[in-house]
């Protein structure tokens, strides 16, 4: 098997704990990884505003992916790729979602527009997005939508809605980033194409990439990476794609993966 040269990690449910925080063990493990000459970066469904603090804390100097690869950027603000959803697809999807028992979030122009600022997941999204919602989805520029998120704690509601908007699968990426989030992004804004873009920009072949994730929207990158690690808190359906399963995100799962699975492959003491 090829030597690992780059580790690409999901953020929520993976790199951060349930409080959306980087733990000291995770920060230390990433710094040890980089000291060993191995690159590290992140790809997340979060907007740039939510990924930036993670990149700053870990001092990631290469490219980073927000919106599942919809935006590839650097910490200094340089954007190298930007893929938005076609406006006609946005309008069609929103029309089909009318009447569904979901909250609707639109992300455009580095802002978060929400149908309501109430609900069980708004507080969590405030932390993840690192911004306050604009409670007026009509204010969003539908020609510049990076992501639509439909929110519901009723799994069947999102399953039914996903089936209802499936006719737009050729015009958008439609996937769940959490059991309570159904995300719609641009066709190239998926973690499979996203990890390929990161690897190409950073000059690494896919067989030299280790990917770490926890949800079904991570599966495309887990399939493309040379080495796939899945979190202990992941659904069994996602674990089926793993070369190794690490501990949960609340048990420093990324740090465990680096020390237990990646360092031994590099000949570095755990």
Residues 99 and 72 occupy one common structural domain? no
Residue 129 pLDDT greater than 70, yes or no: yes
pLDDT digits (tens, 9 = 90+) for 176-234: 888 899 999 999 999 999 999 999 999 999 999 999 999 999 999 999 999 999 999 99
Residues 73 and 100 occupy one common structural domain? no
Residues 98 and 176 occupy one common structural domain? yes
Residues 214 and 258 occupy one common structural domain? yes
Residue 9 pLDDT greater than 60, yes or no: yes
- Number of domains, the chain: 2
Q: What is the pLDDT of residue 30?
A: 97
* Residue 108, domain CATH: 3.30.1240.10
Q: What is the pLDDT of residue 70?
A: 97
How would residue 268 be classed by pLDDT, with cut points 50, 70 and 90? confident
User: Residue 139 to residues 50, 56, 182: CA-CA distances in angstroms?
Assistant: 21, 30, 21
Q: What is the pLDDT of residue 228?
A: 98
* Residue 240, domain CATH: 3.40.50.1000
pLDDT digits (tens, 9 = 90+) for 102-126: 999 999 999 999 999 999 999 999 9
Q: What CA–CA distance (Å, rounded) separates 190 from 67?
A: 8
The per-residue pLDDT of the chain, averaged, comes to: 96
pLDDT digits (tens, 9 = 90+) for 48-66: 999 999 999 999 999 999 9
Q: List phi, psi (to 5°) of 134.
A: -95, 115
Domain holding 78, by residue range, is 6-82+189-266
Q: What is the pLDDT of residue 2?
A: 66
Q: What is the pLDDT of residue 270?
A: 65
Residues 26 and 116 occupy one common structural domain? no
pLDDT digits (tens, 9 = 90+) for 145-168: 999 999 999 999 999 999 999 999
CB 36 within 8 A of CB 263: yes
Residue 1 within a domain: no
Residues 98 and 130 occupy one common structural domain? yes
Q: What is the pLDDT of residue 69?
A: 96
Residue 267 pLDDT greater than 90, yes or no: no
Which of 250, 247, 171 is CA-nearest to residue 258? 247
CB 228 within 8 A of CB 2: no
Residues 176 and 197 occupy one common structural domain? no
């Amino acid at each position: 098997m090829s030597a690992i040269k780059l580790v690409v990690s999901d953020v929520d449910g993976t790199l951060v704990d349930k409080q959306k925080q980087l733990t000291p063990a995770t920060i230390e493990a990433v710094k040890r990884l980089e000291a060993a000459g191995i690159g590290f970066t992140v790809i997340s469904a979060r907007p740039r505003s939510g990924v930036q603090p993670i990149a700053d804390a870990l001092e990631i100097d290469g490219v980073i992916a927000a919106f599942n690869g919809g935006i590839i950027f650097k910490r200094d603000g340089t954007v190298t790729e930007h893929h938005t959803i076609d406006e006609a697809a946005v309008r069609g999807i929103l029309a089909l979602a009318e009447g569904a028992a979901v909250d609707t979030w639109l992300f455009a122009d580095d802002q978060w527009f929400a149908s309501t600022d109430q609900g069980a997941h708004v507080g969590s999204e405030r932390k993840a997005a690192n911004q306050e919602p604009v409670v007026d989805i009509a204010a969003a520029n539908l020609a510049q939508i990076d992501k639509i998120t439909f929110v519901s704690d009723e799994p069947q509601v999102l399953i039914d809605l996903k089936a209802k908007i499936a006719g737009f699968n050729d015009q958008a990426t439609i996937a769940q980033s959490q059991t309570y989030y159904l995300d719609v992004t641009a066709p190239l804004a998926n973690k499979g194409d996203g990890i390929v873009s990161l690897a190409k920009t950073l000059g690494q072949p896919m067989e030299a990439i280790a990917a770490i994730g926890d949800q079904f929207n991570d599966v495309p990158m887990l399939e493309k990476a040379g080495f796939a690690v899945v979190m202990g808190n992941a659904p069994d359906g996602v674990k089926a794609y793993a070369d190794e399963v690490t501990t949960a995100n609340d048990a420093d799962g990324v740090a465990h993966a680096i020390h237990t699975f990646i360092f031994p492959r590099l000949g570095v003491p755990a």
